[in-house]
Amino acid sequence: MNVLECRDLTKIYGKVVAVKNVSLGIGKGQTKVIFGPSGSGKSTLLRCLGLLEKPTSGTIYFNGIDVYTTKQDLNKLRAKIGFVFQEPSLFRHLTALGNVVLGLKHVLGYSEDEARRKAMEALKLVKMEDWANYYPAQLSGGQQQRVGIARAIAMDPEIILFDEPTAALDVELKWEVISVMKDLADRGTTMLVATHELRFAKEVADEMIFMDQGEIIEIGTPEQFFRSPMTERARKFMAKLLG
């Protein structure tokens, strides 16, 4: 059974069809990569899957349960779906540690001490334990993203969605975030990652999903995409990415 799955998901903003009839599923322990040109609907799809936005139509299943028609407690489910954003989105009034502690304390109900201990573990995983008491504005973009990842993993989610977590970073800062994500994938974390980092995709993705204009154009293994994509659009886009 898939941890997270959508069937015929469509999201329309006014006249813009941002996501059109998308169906996909992520099984336990899998890493899938979504890629595609700007405006192809990656962020919108991820926000819908993260239950941060309601799809216009279609069904979302979490562990096989239809989320919307069975009227699930969305906040309970959101806590089980980690989300890492494109723009660093740390809470600016809290330290790195405070950012990770917040959900543990106020969503999962940990005591202050337990929450801090668990938060420090998560910060260690992303190699940010020495920066625990710094505020977001005192950290580099890459460091902020790693804290953002720690904030997500500390909740022990069943799946983590990443929305181009390195797109806003300088080249030198990308690798530190990517390497943290690779560690997570190697450890068997279930993840769906929107990214254009092809090396990451090649090394860890079980499957790559190419989107364009809101639709899934092609699904395949990294080998397939690197050797010879089946569709013309995917071929052109891969060629552009590989420069």
Name the site residues for ligand ATP (rule: CB under 6 A): 13, 16, 18, 38-44, 164
Nearer to ligand ATP, 48 or 67 (CB): 48
Query: Contact, 115 vs 130, CB < 8 A?
Result: no
Q: What SS3 class is residue 113?
A: helix
Q: Distance between alpha carbon 33 and the CA centroid of its chain, in Å?
A: 9
- With binding defined as CB under 5 A, does residue 43 bind Mg ion? yes
Annotate 62-102 with DSSP letters as a single string: ETTEETTTTT--HHHHHHHEEEE-SS----TTS-HHHHHHH
Nearer to Mg ion, 85 or 131 (CB): 85
Distance separating alpha carbons of residues 38 and 86, to the nearest angstrom? 13
Question: At its nearest, how many Å lie between other proteins and the CB of residue 89?
Answer: 4
Nearer to ligand ATP, 63 or 213 (CB): 213
103 binds, among ligand ATP, other proteins, Mg ion, none (CB under 5 to 8 A by kind): other proteins
Question: At its nearest, how many Å lie between other proteins and the CB of residue 132?
Answer: 15
Indicate the residue type of 17: V
Distance (Å) of CA 133 to CA 45, 95, 101, 161, 236: 34, 5, 12, 26, 46
* Choice from 83, 210, 225, 237 touching other proteins (CB under 8 A): 83
Cβ count within 10 A of residue 76 = 10
Nearer to other proteins, 36 or 82 (CB): 82
7 binds, among ligand ATP, Mg ion, other proteins, none (CB under 5 to 8 A by kind): none
Stretch that binds Mg ion, among 41-49, 67-75, 140-148, 172-180 (CB under 5 A): 41-49
Here's the x/- map for other proteins, 152-191, by CB under 8 A: it reads as x--x------------------------------------
Residue 185 burial class via C-beta count within 10 angstroms: exposed 0-12, middle 13-18, buried 19 and up: buried
Nearer to ligand ATP, 43 or 189 (CB): 43
Long-range contacts of 224-232 (CB under 8 A, 24+ apart): 225/201, 226/198, 226/202
83 binds, among Mg ion, ligand ATP, other proteins, none (CB under 5 to 8 A by kind): other proteins
Question: At its nearest, how many Å lie between other proteins and the CB of residue 72?
Answer: 12
